[in-house]
Amino acid sequence: MPIPTEPIGSVPRPPELLSGLAAFAAGEITRAELDGLVERATADTIRRFEDAGSTVVTDGEQAKPSFVTYPLDGFGGLAPDGPVIPFADGHTRQLPRLVQGPFRYATFADEYLRAAVKHTARPVKQAVIAPSALSLLYPSEELGDYPREAFLNDLVEQSEQDIRRCLDAGAASVQLDFTEGRLSLKLDPSKGLLQDFVALNNRVLDRFTADERARIGVHTCPGGDFDSTHSLDVDYAELLPGLFEMRAGRFYVQLAGEADRRRVLKVISEHARPDQTIFIGVIDPIDPRVESAQEVRDRVLEASEYLPVERLGTCDDCGFSPFADDTSTSRDTAFHKVAARVEGTALAADALGV
């Protein structure tokens, strides 16, 4: 397809997998039984991406407990009372808190990638968590025998390893999930926290070659969980200039759910660098209505007024189920939306003659 289109990552888990996750947590089934459910859900997810016409697929994050905490699955040294992320509808998500070091990933994302590629001949994209999100695990007071700087050094090394293992395993691209970027401006309007996040992520990105960075992207959105967000009220114009300072080759920008898309596109056009490909969100996972292919086409044509077509791609605004227990969108609805994105992007490419 002349205009590339990619999923962001997660899709809702099938009911049998959700039941299996609960049963495993209760000690009612074995790990092998759970792994079988994950394997079947992954195969079905990839098949449905292919049936929807997606030229790039993901595993839908079927095996991840959440998009942010997967590296911690099996890591000790944590307490459950870490930072609380409030959402607009009143519900919250809570991260764990680091209580001892050294910090190490217990699970790397290439494990998911290697399981996915067995089910498809199409390019597979792998999402990883940005190191800036995991930096929030460190407590507000220094751990006496494990200072913050030592933690950040370990985090940079582990994050590099997570990305590199995915590239080495054949990922078509690796996407850093950076939903904490917009949230940082809510927590610290001075932009100091955002600047720290960008600098930390660049410490990791700078460890890769220019060719490798062309395969590494950054996804930003205002969070999406149970049809709510944590920072949609934060002005994109405050985030985007800093966002594009990150030395990645691709950016996946939530846009379909924005009230004034043209204003956001103007800011993107002013701050994105010529070597960066911009994938704009043309599908809103929070909207229960399935967008038509014609709506998607029109959103792409709108974006083409601000961005060169050769640097333009499309994506979903966010994952459909970043946390495993989010069932606010049905699996069928998610794939109908994926099909609309693929078809609408193709219609736009035809209209633009590319």
Q: Per-residue pLDDT tens for 301-334? A: 999 999 999 999 999 999 999 999 999 999 999 9
CA 262 – CA 259 distance, rounded (Å)? 9
pLDDT given at position 67 = 92
pTM of the predicted model over 0.75? yes
Distances (CA, A) of 218 to 44, 52, 81: 27, 24, 28
Query: What domain range is 186 assigned to?
Result: 5-352
26-35 average pLDDT score: 94
pLDDT given at position 287 = 95
Q: Is the pLDDT score of 148 beyond 60?
A: yes
Report percent pLDDT > 90 for the chain: 96
**Burial of 184 (C-beta count, 10 Å sphere; 0-12/13-18/19+):** buried
The answer to whether residues 265 and 239 touch, using CB atoms and an 8 Å cutoff, is no
Q: Per-residue pLDDT tens for 109-140? A: 999 999 999 999 999 999 999 999 999 999 99
How many structural domains are present in the chain?
1
First to last CA, the chain: 9
CATH number of the domain that 331 lies in?
3.20.20.210
Eight-class DSSP state of 303: H
pLDDT tier at 74, thresholds 50, 70, 90: confident
pLDDT tier at 286, thresholds 50, 70, 90: very high
257-276 average pLDDT score: 96
pLDDT given at position 144 = 87
Distances (CA, A) of 130 to 28, 42, 68, 78, 163: 34, 23, 8, 19, 10
237-256 average pLDDT score: 97
Nearest Cα to 14, choosing from 37, 36, 47? 37
Across the chain, the runs of DSSP E, i.e. the strands, are 5-6, 78-79, 84-86, 92-94, 97-98, 125-129, 173-177, 216-220, 250-253, 277-283, 312-316
Average pLDDT, the chain: 96
Q: Is the pLDDT score of 73 beyond 90?
A: no
Q: Per-residue pLDDT tens for 171-203? A: 999 999 999 999 999 999 999 999 999 999 999
pLDDT given at position 218 = 98
pLDDT given at position 350 = 97
User: What count of Cα atoms within 13 Å lies in the side-chain half-sphere of residue 278?
Assistant: 27
pLDDT given at position 1 = 55
